[in-house]
């Protein structure tokens, strides 16, 4: 399972999703079309954060 890291250019929130999950809306601020792939951060902290949002969305 491959997870892709993203960040929202509006609120700077960083998260990750499975590679086969497509979305256009930020799970944090709800803005659309603000999501960019984030290739700079390490994955550990992001994965911890995103587990909370996986249950909501
Ligand atoms: Zn956002």
pLDDT score at 56: 53
Q: How far is the CA of 25 from the centre of ligand 1 (A)?
A: 8
Q: What is the pLDDT of residue 39?
A: 76
pTM, two decimals, is 0.59
Q: Please say whether the dihedral angle defined by the alpha carbons of residues 54, 35, 28 and 15, taken in this order, is positive or negative.
A: positive
**What is the distance in A from the centroid of ligand 1 to the CA of 29?**
4
Contacts of 31 (CB under 8 A, 6+ apart): 8, 10, 11, 25
- Distance CA(55)–CA(52), nearest Å, equals 6
Distance 33 CA to ligand 1 centre (A): 9
Instruction: Give me the pLDDT at residue 20, please.
Output: 85
Taking only the tens place, the pLDDT of each residue in 3-57 is: 889 999 999 999 998 888 877 899 999 999 999 988 765 555 555 556 555 665 5
C-alpha 13 – ligand 1 centre gap (Å): 6
């Amino acid at each position: 399972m491959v997870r892709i890291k993203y960040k929202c250019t509006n609120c700077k929130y960083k998260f990750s999703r499975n590679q086969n999950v497509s979305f256009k809306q930020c799970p944090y601020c709800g803005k659309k079309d603000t999501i960019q792939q984030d290739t700079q951060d390490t994955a550990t902290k992001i994965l911890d954060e995103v587990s909370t949002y996986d249950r909501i969305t």
